[in-house]
Amino acid sequence: MKTVTRSRKRNTKGVYILPNLFTSCSLFCGCYAIIAATQARYDAAAVAILISSLLDGLDGKIARFTHTTSQFGIEYDSLSDLVAFGVAPGLLLFEWSLKPLGRFGWLAVFLYVTCGALRLARFNIQKNSLESHHFKGLPIPGAAIFVATAVLCINSLGHDVEHQPILFISAMYVLSFLMVSTIDYVSFKGMDLFRRKPFNVLVATILVFVVVAYKPALMLFLFSSLYIFSGPAQSCYRLVRKQAKKRRLLIRSSPNPSEKGLEGKS
């Protein structure tokens, strides 16, 4: 019995290498994006953020698939996300567009990073009580992907961003608000790629890859924008349906005027 308890204590002191290795690679890409942004290599920084988001999605799936999920991995992943999807895109957008605004620019970056940290902290304490197919508030990787794809898209089109800092600082405030909001966003954690799917799913996936390959920067920016606006759009749709349902219930519960007249005559 003593040997069994000792072996269990040893196992609890260790960490799982494979999922945490993917998290470390994601953190490495975030650090590289920060350095590239300070060197005015904005496209390289944006690509590093996108690669980091891909690795961030893989580490959780690998941990669940190999049954190597741990509290250490969860906390380490959150710290990595704050660097790769909070500090890195904030600094990238500041160096790329917001620097002419001075104090207003870096205060917007500070707000973005703070809201990202609050979003991660709230997710960690609410993850057991939330639905697996929905997020409360915009996930911080989604906000970072929007920033990265916006940089790639506008640079590929050759537009000058130096005279449009107000547009991008407004985007930073909107992203910050969406991250700390309670708006529902679709979660892709329920997608199981290791199970059989209908044939149409494979055809649709190939079609998406073809569309993205035609204009990668533009298409990725459009897809990320659709995801950003999908949360508020769904909330507005649910609110309209709820109001319409209340009106139908009021109409059904209210007495008919003709019935009132009959009751008065009787």
What string of DSSP letters covers 61-104?
Answer: HHHHHTT---HHHHHHHHHHHHIIIIIHHHHHHIIIIIGGGTHH
Angle at CA of residue 123, ends 60 and 224, nearest 5°: 70
Query: What is the average per-residue pLDDT within 238-261?
Result: 74
Q: Which among 107, 9, 116, 25 has a CA at the least distance from the CA of 62?
A: 25
DSSP structure class, residue 208:
H
Residue-wise pLDDT tens digits, 34-78: 999 999 999 999 999 999 999 998 887 888 778 888 888 888 999
Lowest mean pLDDT among 51-55, 232-236, 240-244: 240-244
The residue to which tokens 């659709």 are assigned? 226
In the predicted model, is pLDDT for residue 263 greater than 80? no
Say if residue 252 is exposed, middle or buried (CB neighbours under 10 Å; 0-12, 13-18, 19+): exposed
Q: What is the mean pLDDT of residues 241-266?
A: 68
Q: What six digits make up the tokens of 174?
A: 């909107």
For 194-210, the pLDDT digits (tens) are 667 777 877 888 888 88
Is the model's pTM score more than 0.95?
A: no
Query: CB of 44 within 8 A of CB of 152?
Result: no
Residue 102, pLDDT > 80, answer yes
How far does Cα 265 stand from its chain's mean position?
64
For the segment 224-246, the average pLDDT, to the nearest whole number, is 88
pLDDT band at residue 126 under the 50/70/90 scheme = confident
As a whole number of angstroms, the distance between CA 152 and CA 50 comes to 11
Higher-pLDDT residue of 204, 130: 204
pLDDT of 252? 77
